[in-house]
A and B are shown apart, each in its own frame.
Chain A
Amino acid sequence: MSKDLEDIIKKYSDFKYVEARYHKNESTSIMIMNGQLLGISKETYDGYGLRAYNNGILYFSSSSSPDNLELRSIDKLGWEEIGEEEINSGKYEIKEKKKFDLMPIDEKIKFLKDLYLNVKNLKIDSKLLNFNLIYSESIEEKKILFNDNSLVEAYVPRISLYYTFVLQHMDKTVTVWSDEFGASGGLELLDNWDPQKKIEEKIKEVDKVLTKGKPVKEGKTDVVLSSMLTGIMAHESIGHPFEADRVLGRESAQAGMSYLRDFNKKKIGSNAVTVIDDPTLPGSNGIFMIDDEGIKARPKYLIKNGEINELLQDRFSAPKYNTKSNGSARAMSYNREPIIRMSNTFFLPGNMSFEELISDIREGVFIKSYMEWNIDDMRLGERYVGLESYEIKNGELGDPLLFPVLEGKTTDFLPAVDAVDNNLRFYAGVCGKGDPDQGVPVWMGGPDMRLRNIRIKVM
C-alpha cells in the first residue's frame, strides 16, 4: 500500500500540492426490531483517494484500485487558493480496552434482545408500539502521503448504539430516537454507558410527559436548555456557520452559507458563551490528532466569552483569510475529498449546579430533549420542539409540559444566555456535508444553559 501511495505521488509530481490516501472503513451492524433479530451486515469499504491542486482548481479522484486514479484537466478559472503550511508526519491510534471480538456475535445479539425484554416489561401507562435497536462497531484506518513525503497514519475504533421507539397514549403518539451512545474505543464503552438503565429512564420519562403533560403557555419566559439541546445548538448554529468554507460560500448551493457573512461585530453572545471544537478529546466520536491535510489537531475556540474568536479552517480556506489552517480537514472515506468538518463541538461548562441554575427562575421552561430541530441554511433561524420538557416554578422543576416550541434567531439566543452549569455531557452524531455527501462521526455537547426572556410557542 505504501508503494502504491508513493507511485501516485510520483505520477502527479507536476502539481503544486498532492496528497494520496489509502482509507479503510470496516463495520459490523446488528439490527433488532421489537426484540427479534432483523439482520446483520458486515461491510468493508477501502480504496485510494488522490487530491491535487493547480491553478485554482482542486482535482480529486478515487478508486478501489490505485491504477484507476485519474485527474482530468479543466481549462477554466479556478476558485480555490492554497496556503503555505508545514505538513506534519505522525501516527495516532485509539486503543480498545476490550477488543470487539472478546464478545462473540451471538452474545451481542443476546445483549440487545435482553435490552428489549427489560424495556417491554417496564410498567408504564402508555403503550410501547415499537422498539428498534441498531448496534454498530467500526474501525477506521488511513494512511496519507503528501508530496513532501510527510506521512500521516491513523487507527480509530468506534462503537455506537442507536434506538428508536414509539409510545402511544390515547390518541397521542410520540416517536423517539437517541444519539446518546457513540464514541471511540472498544467494548468497554457498553459497560460505561449502561444503556439498559438509560433507555428505561428515557421511556419512563417520555411516558410521564405523554400521560401527564400539561399544555404549554405561549409567550416570553426564562428557558433552560439541557446539554442535549445545547449540544445540537453548538453544532448547528455555531459549528456549521463557523466553517470557513461556508462563510466563503463554497457550500452555498449545498449545505448553505453562514450568518457570519453579514455579521460585522465581534460580540455575538453573552460572556457566558464559549464554544469549542476539540478533535483531541479522549474517547470522543470525532477524534483525530492530525487532520487529513497533515495539520496538527488542537482545540479551536470558536466563541470565547461571547466574542467571535476563530473559524474552522483548512489549507484552502485559510489563505482567503490571510491565516493558517487550524487542522479541520477530514474525509469520510477513500472516495470523498477532505473538507472542513467539525469534530467535537460544545459549550464550555461553568461552575454552578443545575439547582443553582434554576433557583432564581420564578416561571420558566426546562427542555431536556427534543424531537425535532431544524435551521435555515444561513444557520440563523432555528427551531426545536421539546420532548421531555418541564415547567420551572419558583426555582424548582414542576409538571411535565407537552411539546413547547422554541423558535428564534441564533443571534438572539446567544446574547440571552446568562449562565451555564457544570454538567458537561456529549451526544454522538453523524454530521452531513459536501457533495458527494459525507457523514463524519462527531460529538456535540454542553452544559445546561439558561436563556432569559425567550419566546416559547405551542405546536
Chain B
Amino acid sequence: MNEELLSLLEKMKGFDEVALFKVKAEATTIKFVFGKVSTAQNLDDEVTYALVKKDKKYLVSTLVGKNETEINQEILKSIDEPQLAPVISDNDREYKFEKIDQQLEKLRIDPNSAISTILDTSEYPISGILNIRKNTISLVTSKGFNGIDIRNSIDGYFRAFNGEYSGQWSFADSKYNENELKDTIKTANEYASITNKIDIDEGKYDLVLSPLVFGNLMNYLASMSSGLRILMGNSIFAKFKIGDKVASEKFTFSDVPNEDRPSSVSFDQEATFTRNKSIVENGIYKTPLLNNELALLFNSKSTGNAGWIYPQSWTLEVNEGKTSKDSLTAGNVILFNNNWYTRFQNYVEGNFSTVGRDAIVVYKNGQPMGIAGRLRIADSMINIIKNIEELSRQRYLVKWWDSPIPVLSPYVLVKDIKVSRA
C-alpha cells in the first residue's frame, strides 16, 4: 500500500521527520444552463505534498523534481526557527479505509442517466452543476504511518427559473439515490413557483434561514474555529474562552469526519485519526479545531484537523431541533432560500452582511404572502447564533458554490436580525 510514496520517503534522507501526503481527485462535472448541458468535464488531478523537518525548522512543498530534497535541505539550512512547526503524530499503524458506491462509479464514467433525470424532472429551465467524485488520500510518515482513504461521492446544486422568480436547492451524498436528485430539483422548482412581489422596509425581523443559507454561514464559522485563525486574531473565538456561552443553548455545531459523508476522512495530515467533535455544544464553546502544534499552545490535544500549518474542518453538521419546518414559518417571518456574497467587515466582532438570492419568502400569520425584493442580512455572527429560537427536525446535507464544505443543517429560526434593502 502506498509503495510509491514509501519509496520516495526512503529516498528523502537528511531530515529529522518527513511526511508525504498525496491527493488524487477524479471527478466528472456536468454544468447545466437553462435546461441544457453546457460543459462535461473529466478531471484527474494528483498532487503530492511533502513536509520536511529538521529540528524545529520545516518546509512544505509539492514534490515535482528530482532535486527537491537537496533544494529543501538548503532552504532549511538558511532559515531560522519558526514560531510553530508541524508535529507528526506517533502513529505507526498501517491503515486502509475504502468505501466505493459502485453505482456512483458507473455514473462517473457515464453520467448520461443522471443528466436525463435532472432535465426530465425540472418543470422550469434549470441551471446548476452535478459533481461525481472519487478521492484517494494517502499519507506516509517517517514515524511509520502508512494510510490510505478512498471514497466516492456525489453533490450538486440547481437553480430553477420561473421568469423573474427563482429557487435553488442542493444535495450531497456518499451514495447514489435517484430520488434525492429528483427531490433537489423539485425543491428548487417549488421555491421558484412562489410569486407576488412584496416590499419590505429595512429593520429587524425574525428570519428563517434555509440549510443553504445556514450552511454558508457555518462554513465561515468553521473557518473561524481554526486554531491558527484564532491565534491570528481573525475570528470571533479570539474573544472567548473554552466554556464560554457563545450561542443559544439550542445550537450545537460539529465537525464530523467519521460520518459516512462527502469530504469525510479517517486521518489528518499529521497522521492523527480524525474524530467527531462539537465546536459549540448547546451554546457553549467547546473547542477550536487543532493540529498537534496548536494543541500545545491551546493546552489541549489535537482534534484531528491538521492542516500542517492551518487546521481545517472536514465535514460539518448542526444538530436538529424539535419542530417541523412549517412550525418555524408559522408566525410573521422572512424565509431566505439562499444567499450570496457573505462578507465580513470585522472577524473579531463577527460583523458581516450577505445578500439574499432566489426566493426570499415573506410569511404573515404562517401564510406565504409573496417574495421580497432584494434584501441583505446585515448583522453579526454572534447575534445569529445567539438569537437562534428554534431549528427544524428535518436536516439536509448541502454543498454548493458558496458552501464548499458539506453541512448537514436544519432550517433555523433566528429572532431580531437586521435586514437592509440592497
User: Bound state CA distance, A457 and B115, in angstroms?
Assistant: 47
Cβ-based interface call for A22 (8 A): no
Question: Is the CB–CB distance between B355 and A42 below 8 Å?
Answer: no
* Contact among B37, B43, B129 for A61, CB-based, below 8 A: B43
Point out the residue from B34, B116, B346, B351 that lies within 8 Å of A79, measured CB to CB: B34
Contact with B along A396-409 (1 / 0, CB 8 A): 00000001000101
Contacts of B352 in A (CB 8 A): 372
**Set A38, A59, A72, A383: member contacting B309, Cβ < 8 A:** A38
The answer to whether B39 has its CB under 8 Å from any CB of chain A is yes
Provide the B169-202 mask, 1 if CB < 8 A to any CB of A, else 0: 0000000000000000000000000000000000
Q: Which of B335-376 contact A (CB under 8 A)?
A: 340-349, 351-355, 357, 374, 376
Is the CB of A335 closer than 8 A to any CB of chain B? Answer: yes
Write the A244-261 contact mask toward B (1 if CB under 8 angstroms, else 0): 000011101111100000
> Does B233 lie within 8 Å of A175, measured CB to CB?
yes
- A39 with B43: in contact, given A72-B110, A374-B343, A435-B401 (CB under 8 Å)? no
In the complex, chain B residues 44-77 whose Cβ is within 8 Å of any chain A Cβ: 44-47, 58-62, 64, 71-72, 75
B102 on interface, CB distance cutoff 8 Å: no
Residues of the A chain whose Cβ atoms lie less than 8 Å from the Cβ of B31: 250, 435
With A374-B343, A375-B341, A459-B351 as known contacts, state yes or no: A380 contacts B422, CB within 8 Å. yes
Which one of A63-71, A144-152, A190-198, A346-354 is at the B interface? A63-71
Give the CA-CA distance A254 to B351 in the complex, in Å.
Answer: 25
Closest A residue to B84 by beta carbon equals A38
Residues of B within 8 A of A383 (CB): 353, 376, 378, 420, 422
B44's partner among A56, A62, A248, A374 (CB-CB below 8 A) is: A62
A166 to B404, CA, bound (A): 27
A175 and B346 in contact, given A164-B234, A249-B127 (Cβ under 8 angstroms) = yes
- B124 an interface residue at 8 Å Cβ cutoff? no
A104–B404 alpha-carbon span in the complex (Å): 37
Within the complex, the shortest CB–CB distance from A378 to chain B, in Å, comes to 8
In the complex, which residues of chain B have a beta carbon less than 8 angstroms from the beta carbon of A250?
31, 33, 38
With a cutoff of 8 Å between Cβ atoms, the chain A residues found around residue B246 in the complex are: none
- Knowing A62-B44, A375-B341, the reply to whether A40 touches B75 (Cβ < 8 A) is yes
User: Which of these, B42, B58, B112, B374, contacts A71 with CB under 8 Å?
Assistant: B42
- Contact between B376 and A130 (Cβ–Cβ < 8 Å)? no
A373 touches B62 (CB 8 A): no
Considering only CB atoms, which chain B residue lies closest to A77 in the complex?
B36
CB distance from A248 to the nearest CB of B (A): 8
CB proximity of B239 to chain A, nearest CB, Å: 9
Instruction: Say which one of B9-17, B141-149, B153-161 lies at the interface with A.
Output: B153-161
B41 and A61 contact, CB distance less than 8 A: yes
Chain-B contact segment, one of A29-37, A201-209, A272-280, A290-298: A29-37
Tally the A-B contacts, defined by beta carbons under 8 Å. Answer: 240
Q: From B170, which residue of chain A is reached at the shortest CB distance?
A: A253
Cβ-defined partner of B127 (8 Å) among A36, A252, A376, A377: A252
A79: chain B residues at CB < 8 Å are: 33-34, 36-38
Q: Which of B40, B340, B348, B355 contacts A60 (CB 8 A)?
A: B40
Highest count of chain A CB atoms <10 Å: which of B36, B59, B349, B422: B422
Interface string of A315-345 (1 = CB under 8 A from B): 0000000000000000000010100000000
Taken together as a complex, chains A and B put the C-alpha atoms of A130 and B46 apart, in Å, by 36
B119 touches A76 (CB 8 A): yes
Once the chains are docked, how many angstroms separate the CA of A445 from the CA of B129? 33
Which one, A44-52, A117-125, A421-429, is touching chain B? A44-52
Give me the interface of B with A, judged by CB distance under 8 Å.
27-34, 36-47, 58-62, 64, 71-72, 75, 78-84, 109-112, 115-116, 119, 127-129, 157-159, 161, 168, 231-234, 308-309, 340-349, 351-355, 357, 374, 376, 378, 401, 404, 420-422
Can you list 6 residue pairs at the A/B interface with Cβ under 8 Å? A72-B109, A74-B30, A75-B112, A79-B34, A164-B234, A374-B354
Interface residues of A (CB under 8 A from B): 31, 33-34, 36-47, 56-64, 68-72, 74-80, 104-106, 109, 129-130, 132, 164, 166, 173-175, 248-250, 252-256, 335, 337, 371-377, 380-383, 385, 403, 407, 409, 435-437, 457, 459
